[in-house]
Amino acid sequence: MVYSDTTNLGGSVKRKKIRIHDLIEKKKNSEKISSITCYDASFARIIEMSQIDFVLVGDSLGNVIQGKNSTLSVTLEEVAYHVRCVRQTIKTPLLVGDMPFMTAGINRHETMHNAGLLMRSGAEAVKIEGATPEICDQIHFLSNNGIPVMGHIGLMPQSVNALGGYRIQGKNELDKKRLLKEAKALQDAGCFAIVLELIVPSLAEEITNSVKIPTIGIGSGNQCDGNILVLQDMLGMNKDFKPKFLKHYLKLEDTIKEAMNDYCKSVQEKNSENE
């Protein structure tokens, strides 16, 4: 099978397939990287018509799709299922699959097996939280065996209990040194990019300037090489959830509710006409 390296946007404009080296080139050229989460084929189809650079099938599906308070119970099989759904209609953006809680960092064999499942499901890279020596060793092992890895430091939802809750990271000097060291360790291990979540903006900027690979911020200011948001959050599908860093680009909760009520009204009126 031969794959085209260009895709039609909305049936007219051809767009080049985004690959890992394209993200690295964007950093070199000081071009910002845009990314979003996605969990299903319907939204993926719309994203395919946009300018998004990469899509993350995140374990945030535990919050967004399953309605849970954390991501800890999300399984590898659930992420793989959603990767397969997104892969049906996403072609141009790079597709990254999240390695959920306790699926990376145990040992090389298990981490390779788990990452391989996501790749076989359609992911083109995996994302792994943390930067312990064990995790860095396994990232290096994955990278050397053809599985690209995106790192993730700062607030790590899978370690929220150990971190003492959802708090901004890097406020004191000790944490600053640790996060700088972790970013460089992930780069040395072979990561092609790093997510910086809820890190003090000045430190996120320092990390961005200290590594050669792209940094993707979420709640870490505007000086990272790119940004990522949860799709449903960005679209305003839960207007009660609005942390300081989040902008609602639409107010879909109200729009969808109004559409539902219009539909119900229409159904009721048609029933009345038939009486």
Q: What is the mean pLDDT of residues 147-154?
A: 97
Q: Residue 23 falls within a domain, yes or no?
A: yes
Q: What is the mean pLDDT of residues 152-157?
A: 91
CATH number at residue 73: 3.20.20.60
Name the amino acid, one letter, at 32. K
Q: Residue 76 falls within a domain, yes or no?
A: yes
Model confidence pLDDT, tens digit, residues 188-221: 999 999 999 999 999 999 999 999 999 999 999 9
Mean pLDDT rounded to a whole number for the chain: 92
- Catalytic residue status for 258: no
Give CA–CA dist 170/176, Å, rounded.
5
Give CA–CA dist 244/163, Å, rounded.
20
pLDDT for residue 159: 72
Give CA–CA dist 88/98, Å, rounded.
18
Q: Residue 244 falls within a domain, yes or no?
A: no
Checking if the pLDDT of 66 tops 60, the result is yes
Strands 6-9 and 125-129, bridge-based pairing: unpaired
Answer yes or no: are the C-beta atoms of 96 and 54 closer than 8 Å: yes
129 annotated binding-site participant = yes
127 annotated binding-site participant = yes
**Number of residues that make up the chain:** 275
Give CA–CA dist 238/266, Å, rounded.
25
Q: Residue 206 falls within a domain, yes or no?
A: yes
25 annotated binding-site participant = no
Which residues, in sequence order, are CB contacts of 138 under 8 Å at separation 6+? 104, 105, 107, 108, 111, 112, 128
Model confidence pLDDT, tens digit, residues 228-274: 999 999 999 998 888 888 999 999 999 999 999 999 999 999 766 65
Tokens read off for 179: 């996060």
233 annotated binding-site participant = no
Model confidence pLDDT, tens digit, residues 8-60: 555 445 789 999 999 999 999 999 999 999 999 999 999 999 999 999 999 99
Q: Residue 266 falls within a domain, yes or no?
A: no
Q: How many domains, in total, are found in the chain?
A: 1
* Active-site option among 48, 78, 197, 205: 197
Q: Residue 253 falls within a domain, yes or no?
A: no
Q: Residue 262 falls within a domain, yes or no?
A: no
The whole domain housing 170 covers 6-234
Q: Residue 143 falls within a domain, yes or no?
A: yes
Tokens read off for 246: 């989040």
Model confidence pLDDT, tens digit, residues 52-62: 999 999 999 99
Burial 169-194 (b: 16+ CB within 10 A, else e): bbeeeebbeebbebbbbbbebbbbbb
